[in-house]
Structure 1
């Protein structure tokens, strides 16, 4: 599902733009897009493959092509392998540190699908999977991890974990039945809603640190205020009616990343 890359891709390019103090070149743009798509394809295909047994018993997922036989297990394994190879090769051609880090990153991406079998912290692991995106962007441009990229990473981690908590509210009964670990099935619905709000408050805290440490300008602060409003609207939609969860998950979060990236570009262009 290529469209799911919209969650991580803006933050990769935010990190790359800030690290380069502007335009980072066509080569890194092309490699960044390919790396993002291949990593996302790898992660989602791996998840679909190893979760087939659970997806069959979940009314929300039982009609997926990976479950009903339209896509075979062999095809999924081949797809997983091809995308892993593409990710590693692209990383090799960017710089040595990207290449060395490509292997543990794939391990983290695959690990999310397994953690939920043993721990409710899987939501935070998923957040880490996407939180690594800005770190990858910085490494691609500078060949090292810069300090300001860390709060950007942690902010993305809590952003993703926060909206994954909301998304997981759809599967509370199924998770309990199948013995899968999730925070909603452990804490209950009301406490999960509060925890998601705390996570999204932490997003703003860490992105304040990012903007301050990276010495960015007024337009990034404006972008942060708009991001905060989007997070508040997402929380409102879900609290109002759980039928709004898909809309909040895909639409609101998709716009948040793109708009935040847009203000980053505007900030860098104005500062010249």
Structure 2
């Protein structure tokens, strides 16, 4: 039993399960807006399973491909895919099991979800390749998480709406923006290994400025999401809170690079949760 629990903990560490908090709120934001309220217990369960299996697939695939890179990075050398706790075959089996799980969940959601399931897996798996030849990898990661709202509205209404696309583009720039800040930690390693990232190509100052531009675009697209979805007062408060939290994130990183983890995990984690609850309140009262 202890051996099984240890292995489960290793997989948990492999995919950094707690980071699911970044995509889950935006799936349910889209589902709430599409349903104009409660969308049902079955879709709640299926939405959670879809988000987790998709993310586990993406992270597992990334860790499988990056075994050589992670072994040469002091920040990642103790990951389970490097230190021997999980074999390459175990990671591969885990990855494809989650891919199949995601497709199976999509089958139970609706026909459009099933049709889109394979293209979604291809997109979210492509991040691992892009960083080997293009600095646009940050945007690919953003697109991967940005698919969450579209998946949410497809689950509820089996359509893709304008407001869900605007919300998704906002999520894309939000994720790409904070990924730029997070990747500042690896700028020297990226240069040494010849990996393509915006920090290694454009430097620290330019990276921080690009991140600010991305986060400004986040606010713009989220604002138009609220407008096109006929959001009320609480939805506009969500935009204001997002401005304050993203500004605080950049303040932390500008002040002290050692605060990158706090900016990445804490601020962005709370942003998604607060945004979700404000949209929920907006749906209830408007």
| TM-score (norm. length: structure 1) | 0.99
Output the CA distance in 2 between the equivalents of 1:99 and 1:114: 25
- Which of 205, 210, 213 is residue 195 of structure 1 equivalent to? 210
Which residue of the partner structure matches residue 185 of structure 1? 200
For 1:203 and 1:110, locate their aligned partners in 2 and report how far apart those are by CA, in whole Å: 23
Structure 1 position 120 matched with structure 2 position 118? no
- Give runs of ≥4 in structure 1 deviating > 3 Å: none
Q: Which residue does 2:100 correspond to in 1?
A: 85
Mapping 1:20-99, distance limit 5 Å: 20-99=35-114
How many Å separate the matches in 1 of 2:204 and 2:18? 28
Deviation at 1:223, TM superposition (A): 1.2
Cα distance in 1 for residues equivalent to 2:262 and 2:59: 20
- The CA distance in 1 between the partners of 2:216 and 2:180, in whole Å, is 14
Q: Name the CA distance, whole Å, in 2 between partners of 1:268 and 1:144.
A: 20
Map residues 71-220 of structure 1 onto 2, 5 A cutoff. Answer: 71-220=86-235
> In structure 2, how many angstroms separate the alpha carbons of the residues matched to 1:17 and 1:138?
9
Structure 2 gaps of 5+ residues are: 1-15
Q: Do residues 246 (structure 1) and 258 (structure 2) align?
A: no
Cα shift readout 1:197-216 (whole Å, capped 9, x = no counterpart): 01000000000100000001
How far apart are 1:2 and its partner, in Å?
1.9
The CA RMSD over aligned residues, in Å, is: 0.5
1:148 Cα offset (Å): 0.8
TM-fit CA distance, 1:88: 0.2
5+ long unaligned stretches in structure 1: none
The secondary structure found in structure 2 opposite 1:69 is: coil
1:4 Cα deviation after fit: 1.1
Q: Hey, what does 2:270 align to over in structure 1?
A: 255
1:73-96 superposed Cα distances (whole Å, 9 cap, x missing partner): 111011001100110000001000
Tell me how far apart the structure 1 counterparts of residues 262 and 81 of structure 2 sit (CA, whole Å). 23
Post-superposition CA distance 1:222-272 (Å, at most 9, x none): 11101111100000101111110011111100000000000011011112x
Whole-Å separation in 2 of the counterparts to 1:54 and 1:223: 39
- Shift, 1:147, TM fit: 1.0
Instruction: Name the counterpart of 1:269.
Output: 284
Distance 2:100 2:33 in 1: 28
Q: What count of residue pairs does the alignment treat as equivalent? A: 271
**TM-score, with normalisation over the residues of structure 2?**
0.94
What CA distance in whole angstroms lies between the structure 2 residues aligned with 1:66 and 1:240? 33
| Mapped partners of 2:255, 2:194: distance in 1 | 28
Distance 2:258 2:64 in 1: 27
